[in-house]
Structure 1
């Protein structure tokens, strides 16, 4: 017979701790749990009394976790994740995937490529719900409430497990209207005379564009009147004739196929830009999350095959 002791009389009280951290306040936690702020405050005080330590430093403007609160938060998250995983395993035995998958993805990729994949997956698994955070701000997969992050670039955090979805390449493009008014660049160095739309990702502005030909590489420092941290806006500006963009072919696929954008410098190659599905290495991964990653990876493989056939 299993027996354990804990000073916490009601383990479900830990939900107040979790929601206070994610929402930033007791009021937000109360709203998420469907209780009054007074009840949330009383629950937190009860937890602190049972544990004999303060979990938050309170001020008029914010609530900040104490070192003790941070320790308890990490273990509470793991405990609820284990319970959720156990429930999902029971559902898997019945052949069904259920529960919410929390996904973070780049804005334009979500709109142009991922959305139909998500739609198809949800049709196949009606018990699954999707909570999608769309934006080009890089979320902390370990700290933020995210099960799966889809990101461009090299993996820099050893605490994450990465699955390569695509080895994308940036493509230079502009609208026919822009090229009619400003001319068509014939070499990378011609770009210094053009209005180039730079993109911000992870707090860095990518305005040094690199091109290769016959084993020789050249880097061009571009400029323009638009710098943006939303890839979707950058692409829409390019379609409207505002300037030249340098984004992955995946993100521009529809506009290149429709003729809204014209690919430039096609005889020049560019550096590969990997797209990964990222999962926390120390966290249990529910079957529904694994299934979604497998599904997306399969669809990206099909996209790659269709591109090579053309």
Structure 2
């Protein structure tokens, strides 16, 4: 099956964005009849229904979600190639769609992203901030940052660093309630929970530093939230204990705004990955952003294994 007309792809993407043939036609400066005909030809070539249509609305199908994700990246790559030729390849151009966790974004990434955009004025950033798990294909994301091991072995990923969860609290909380001396005492404390991959994090595993004891504690508290950055703010305000990524807590631990609790016990270790939908077509601007984030992670001293060799670069775009 050949895609012979790029305008058909543009119609499909406009329909995915607007949910309307009329609005799509207006965006592309063609008639609604021409837009409808182009979409029908594309579906016939694909042998798949991309949209369910009625007299009043249209709804994208699962097949449409999948196909338009690839179509969008294909057109982006063509645009980038044309721009690189016209500019002599001197600068990065185009949009990068990045999805990242809320606390990591606000506490660490914002300054790094500002520096990247300043260095590459031809790049535009579309940033999606959420603690829910981004689907890099369905959500039309160029790259997603994720903590933890990857459940889907088909995903293409680059490890940026390895961190661990640490237990801490504000000095004000510890002054009022004291510090636990053993993880089992957490049941007597206010523990701040948040959502991880759609599940409330209530089971906190710990390992003694000498490796001789391991246990998992079920915690509870009056405050729970689906945004880890808010849980972080509650901890700073002295409302309870928090157990989360040392990367997110790095600045506050360094300043003393938060204090390590149970320093002889370690939380779970977990990698931070940059995840891509494919390694076949990685635009130069996306590859450059991941390289920049990897370099900043290595320079930050926030990871557990910073002395390891730098990971290999992602493949170049053909």
- Match status 1:65 vs 2:61: yes
- Choose which of 145, 163, 167 in structure 2 pairs with 1:168: 163
Q: In the alignment, what sits opposite 1:183?
A: 178
Q: In the alignment, what sits opposite 1:153?
A: 148
Q: Number of residues paired by the alignment?
A: 299
- Give the whole-Å Cα distance in 1 for the aligned partners of 2:183 and 2:247: 21
CA 1:72–1:138 in structure 2 vs 1: closer, same or farther (change >3 Å)? closer
SS in 2 for 1:178: helix
Q: In the alignment, what sits opposite 1:274?
A: 271
**Cα displacement (A) at 1:76:** 3.3
Residues 1-310 of structure 1: pairs in structure 2 closer than 5 A = 8=5, 11-21=6-16, 23=17, 25-26=19-20, 30=24, 34=27, 41-51=32-42, 53=44, 55-59=50-54, 63-65=59-61, 69=64, 73=68, 76-77=71-72, 79-87=74-82, 89-90=84-85, 93-213=88-208, 214-215=210-211, 216-281=213-278, 283-304=280-301
Give the stretch that moved more between structures: 243-252 or 78-87.
78-87
* Post-superposition CA distance 1:110-169 (Å, at most 9, x none): 111111111111111111111111111111101212111111010122232111111111
CA 1:19–1:268 in structure 2 vs 1: closer, same or farther (change >3 Å)? same
Whether contact under 8 Å (2:192, 2:231) holds in the other structure is: yes
TM-score using structure 1 length: 0.85
* Post-superposition CA distance 1:247-275 (Å, at most 9, x none): 11110112212222111111112221110
- Give the whole-Å Cα distance in 2 for the aligned partners of 1:108 and 1:162: 21
- 5+ residue gaps in structure 1? none
Whether contact under 8 Å (1:16, 1:29) holds in the other structure is: no
**Cα displacement (A) at 1:193:** 0.6
Whether contact under 8 Å (2:98, 2:144) holds in the other structure is: yes
Whether contact under 8 Å (2:103, 2:229) holds in the other structure is: yes
TM-score using structure 2 length: 0.83
SS in 2 for 1:169: strand
CA 1:94–1:167 in structure 2 vs 1: closer, same or farther (change >3 Å)? same
SS in 2 for 1:159: coil
